[in-house]
């Protein structure tokens, strides 16, 4: 859990975004950071109406 918070700070991730998972593959020399978001809608910056996210 501490690793996740550390990467959120390093990457300057803020809500609604969050680091979901961090994995290290030493053999391949890879670090994978999975970033997700919790909300399925946002407000329009002009009128504040709810805007749904379109999944493609």
Taking a C-beta distance cutoff of 8 angstroms, is the pair 42, 48 a contact?
Answer: no
Spans of all domains in the chain: 2-52
pTM above 0.85, yes or no: no
Q: What's the CA gap between 34 and 42, in Å, rounded? A: 21
Task: Tell me whether strands 50-52 and 17-25 are parallel, antiparallel or unpaired.
Answer: unpaired
At 49 the pLDDT is 85
pLDDT averages per 10-residue partition of the chain, 56 residues:
87 90 94 86 81 63
């Amino acid at each position: 859990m501490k690793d996740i918070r550390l990467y959120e700070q390093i990457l300057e991730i803020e809500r609604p975004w969050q680091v979901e998972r961090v994995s290290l593959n030493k053999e391949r020399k890879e670090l994978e950071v999975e970033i997700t978001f919790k909300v399925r809608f946002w407000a329009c910056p002009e009128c504040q109406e709810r805007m749904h996210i379109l999944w493609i």
